[in-house]
Structure 1
Amino acid sequence: MSSIALLGAIELGLIYALVGVGVYLSFRVLDFPDLTVDGSFPLGAAVTAVMLVSGVDPWLATAAGVVAGALAGFVTAFVTVRFGVLHLLASILTMIALFSVNLRIMGRPNVALLTEATVLTPWLGGVLADEYVRPLFLAVVVLIAVALVAAFLRSEAGLAMRATGANPRMARAQGVRTGVQVIAGVMLSNALVGLAGALFAQTNGFADVTAGVGTIVVGLAAVIVGETFIPGRRIFWALIGCVVGAVIYRLAVQTALSIDMLGLQASDLNLATALLVLVALVLPKLRGKVRGKLRTGASS
């Protein structure tokens, strides 16, 4: 693997780390399986791209992408909480609707940003080469996001959200408005995904309506791989695990595609993704069985 491919994999891994943190909030904290991310990722990219082409300040355009992602999460959570629709079905309906919404926003399947100023523009062309600046910039953004999310989850509101996911009946008995917590949590989750989409569009130079295909799988892979490599119950380390898992996932995919002996091509990305997630799911169980057998053998 070349250095450019390595840095590119790390760059994509850091972008999808934000998706992993968002998926962790919905799946692990709230116990809310949410497939909206496949639509809110390209939504954040689409809103940001259209505003950049219109001459809007890059930071304001990025913030708009974050808000758009949060609104997508609001729709899913509101339909579930207010009308009692199953969360999976509500998120699938929102995801499907967002495909048309994204086309409406962009007016065409994709928007190019190669000549537009982005949040990265002031940092490019300096002492460091651009291929190093992008992952460093994204690393700072991801660490800030992780620190803010960790601080929120330790706050009173965050504890109420965690209680809602752990035991909603007991949370309601303690006076927690669980419906509000679910809506807020899913909005925060998709806001992070919208931020990832906005940064994806600006680092890659385009926004595409199909950019969100498989995003939920990548997010789940980041969470599962992170839990495998950084086990523990502390919130901060769980979030760091999502970041590490996303980077390891992208590096593994890039490595698999770079090994000529395997014969994989770019079109095999989804196959490689499915296999990596399967391995990440199976390995902890196999490790637990091996440990159990070793303990049984030692005791006998």
Structure 2
Amino acid sequence: MVSSLIGAVELGLIYAIMALGVYITFRILDFPDLTVDGSFATGGAIAAVMISHGYSPWLVSLLAFAGGLAAGACTGLLHTKGKINGLLSGILMMIALYSINMRILDKPNVSVYGEDTVFTSISPLVLMPFVVIAIKLLLDLFLHTDLGLSLRATGDNARMIRSFGANTDNTTILGISISNGLVALSGALIAQQSGFADITMGVGMIVIGLASVIIGEAIFGAGSVFRATFAVLLGSIVYRIVVALALRVEWMEASDLKLITAVIVIIALVFPSVQRSIKQKSAARRRSAELATLASKKSIGGDY
């Protein structure tokens, strides 16, 4: 049990980088980006192939980030310059990346067992908190710059920010690029942690990212940017712990992982609405009781 929980925390920390990327498009830009499923595998493919050829794992991770930036930029260009629907742009790029990733790997999977990775000399549980916190703080700082504020305003009200002379096309492309860069970096780290990259490793990543974002916001709230990004990190860890515990149930199998993910997301989405509905009904009952008490007092006063 303890070892599985430790493994869940390790995975949660690595996937937290991907969740931050999903947070940028899902919450800040309000953009339904399905490129994530492809760019995650792109990062893993770049890392596995280059590490197997003897390149530095840190350099490889940066190049994977650059690969994700390029994939995100293509999606952004399809949407802003090609005038293609945002959802369709992501789907088209995700499909294209499948073939690109197969070209990079040159076969369905590539192993990096026995090769030097960023985790060769230090455990992910020790290294990843520093990496994740550093990325989170850098993202927070960026979102408080003028360019970052323009990015946030683009998601809130694109028409308003255009009236101030900002180019929303550029900010949209930038946001999607950074998002997929982080996703690809997470994919590269997962490939190094698991010891291989697979052509299908990105399937369902958008759902996992959304689950992390939604769970984090539901449990820890999302007021300021600092709090929201911190909630996303914790949400990723909580999600992995919940999955690890669910898989320990006797009648659960590893093949049920996608089902567990879907159920967790549904619960996370429905819970705030149910909670809000209960509060509204409770407030309505209190109001009715107060009105009834007031009416009763007036009736007594009238009798006298």
Q: TM-score, normalised by structure 2?
A: 0.93
Matched, 1:186 2:176: yes
Which secondary structure state, in structure 2, belongs to the residue aligned with residue 84 of structure 1? coil
Cα separation, 2, equivalents of 1:135 and 1:59:
17
Q: Which runs of 5+ in 1 are unaligned?
A: 124-132
- Tell me which amino acid in the other structure corresponds to 1:166: D
- Tell me which amino acid in the other structure corresponds to 2:90: S
- Runs (4+) off by over 3 Å: none
- Tell me which amino acid in the other structure corresponds to 1:8: G
Q: 1:212 aligns with which of 197, 202, 211?
A: 202
Cα separation, 1, equivalents of 2:17 and 2:208:
11
Cα separation, 2, equivalents of 1:38 and 1:211:
8
Q: TM-score, normalised by structure 1?
A: 0.94
Q: Counterparts of 1:22-171 in structure 2 under 5 Å? A: 22-123=21-122, 133-171=123-161
Q: 1:238 aligns with which of 203, 220, 228?
A: 228
Which secondary structure state, in structure 2, belongs to the residue aligned with residue 111 of structure 1? strand
Shift of 1:231: 1.2
Shift of 1:233: 2.1
State the match for 2:240 in structure 1. Answer: 250
Aligned length: 288
Identity of aligned residues (%): 44
State the match for 1:297 in structure 2. Answer: 285
Shift of 1:232: 3.0
- What does the per-residue CA deviation read over 1:195-236, in whole Å, with 9 as the maximum and x for residues that have no partner? 100100111111111000100000000110011011132001
Q: Which runs of 5+ in 2 are unaligned?
A: 289-304
State the match for 2:262 in structure 1. Answer: 274
Shift of 1:296: 1.4
Shift of 1:299: 2.1
Preserved contact between residue 65 and residue 182 of structure 2 (Cα < 8 Å): yes
Cα separation, 1, equivalents of 2:125 and 2:168:
38
Cα separation, 2, equivalents of 1:232 and 1:251:
21
State the match for 2:12 in structure 1. Answer: 13
Cα separation, 2, equivalents of 1:213 and 1:7:
24
Cα separation, 2, equivalents of 1:170 and 1:276:
36
Shift of 1:19: 1.3
- What does the per-residue CA deviation read over 1:222-269, in whole Å, with 9 as the maximum and x for residues that have no partner? 110011011132001100111111111111111111022xx1100011
Shift of 1:104: 0.5
State the match for 2:293 in structure 1. Answer: none
Cα separation, 1, equivalents of 2:155 and 2:20:
16
Q: 1:223 aligns with which of 199, 213, 233?
A: 213
Preserved contact between residue 9 and residue 237 of structure 2 (Cα < 8 Å): yes
Preserved contact between residue 222 and residue 231 of structure 2 (Cα < 8 Å): no
Preserved contact between residue 51 and residue 57 of structure 2 (Cα < 8 Å): yes
Task: Kindly name which structure, 1 or 2, has the bigger radius of gyration based on alpha carbons.
Answer: 2
